Amino acid sequence: MKKERTKLALLVSDSLKAQAGAAALSEAHEWVPPQEADVLVVLGGDGYLLHVLHEMLQRGVSKPCYGVNLGTVGFLMNRSTRRAIAERVLRAREVEVVPLAMDAVTRDGQHHRYYAINEVSLLRETRQTAKLEVAVNGKVQMTELAGDGILVATPAGSTAYNLSANGPILPLGSRLLALTPISPFRPRRWRGAILPESARVSFRVLEPDKRPVAAVADQKEVRDVSEVHITTARDHRLTLLFDPGKTLEERIFAEQFQV
């Protein structure tokens, strides 16, 4: 961290654990409003940090975020310690995260644009199997994928839903995307693909009346979509801060050896 970044703002989730942690931190540093801060200190879990990052994306603002885990998993966070928060932020290392941009068109012709830091997923809305056409860079690669759905994950999100769907873990900085089917029925043996981050991935919903599909960008859902287009939003880069030796890259690397 650069030493001139000394103005810190404290953002706290609504959980009782995070609120208790905020009470202990409130007098440990001279905090400023978020709009005046150089760094946002975020107390809570991964979900709340993602909420803060999405708020910045919507406002077109980008400030480094130092997360303190007072939630459950905390994969994107730093552990809570008694060390002075200003010192921790000063020593933290920057990690760049590049989100995805999802452009979804619903069956009634409405257009929706949302960003995803972890993944964009297409999911069947009913008991009926979803049927999707898959295209990359304007060329149809799969005329029909039948299953529960499909997702596109960033390296930062490759250890989340993507990993649970048996997708590959992508090293941070690899400039790759994971294209992973969710419980595929046909073709049953297809396990997905690894794409360059420059790829434009498009999905067209087949039989939308009978087999409705929803598109989800992290926590934002659009129902009854007819087509979805996904690109990397390199002009909306975000910065996360991690304690030395505990960076996101090191965590993603270590995750590959978990048994």
DSSP secondary structure letters along 6-21: --EEEEE-SSHHHHHH
Give the span between the Cα atoms of 78 and 69, in whole angstroms: 6
End-to-end Cα, the chain, rounded Å: 34
Instruction: Work out the pLDDT band at 69, boundaries 50, 70, 90.
Output: very high
Instruction: Work out the percent of the chain whose per-residue pLDDT is above 90.
Output: 74
Which residues are CB-neighbours of 186 under 8 A, at least 6 positions away? Answer: 144, 145, 146, 147
- For the annotated catalytic residues, the residue numbers are 46
pLDDT of residue 259: 63
Binding residues: 46-47, 51, 118-119, 148, 156, 159-164
Retrieve residue 18's tokens.
């995070």
- The DSSP H or E segment spanning 59 is helix 46-59
Does residue 2 surpass a pLDDT of 60? no
pLDDT the model gives residue 1: 43
Backbone angles phi, psi at 156, to 5 degrees: -65, -30
H or E segment and range at residue 248: helix 248-255
Q: Which domains does the chain have, with CATH numbers?
A: 8-98+237-255 (3.40.50.10330), 100-234 (2.60.200.30)
Residue 5 DSSP class: -
DSSP 138: T
pLDDT, tens digit, for every residue of 210-223? Answer: 999 999 999 899 99
For residue 115, is pLDDT > 90?
A: yes
Query: Which whole number is the average pLDDT over 87-109?
Result: 94
Distant-in-sequence, close-in-space partners of 171: CB < 8 Å, separation ≥ 6: 155, 249, 252, 253
Per-residue pLDDT averaged across 175-203, rounded?
A: 96
pTM, full prediction: 0.86
b/e per residue, 4-42, with b = 16+ CB within 10 A? Answer: ebbebbbbbbebebbeebbeebeeeeebeebeebbbbbb
Residues 6+ apart with CB under 8 A from 244: 91, 92, 93
Residue 147 tokens read as: 């299953």
Mark 49-87 as b/e (b = at least 16 C-beta within 10 Å).
bbbbbbebbeeeeebbbbbbbbbeebbbbbebeeeebbe
Q: Which residues are annotated as a binding site for NAD(+)?
A: 46-47, 51, 118-119, 148, 156, 159-164
User: Which one is predicted more confidently, 234 or 82?
Assistant: 234
User: Cα 149 to chain center, whole Å?
Assistant: 18
Mean pLDDT estimate for the chain: 92
Distant-in-sequence, close-in-space partners of 76: CB < 8 Å, separation ≥ 6:
46, 49, 50, 67, 156, 240, 248
pLDDT of 66 > 90? The answer is: yes
The confidence band for 82, taking pLDDT boundaries of 50, 70 and 90, is confident
pLDDT of res. 97: 92
Q: Which amino acid is at 190?
A: W
Per-residue pLDDT, 247: 67
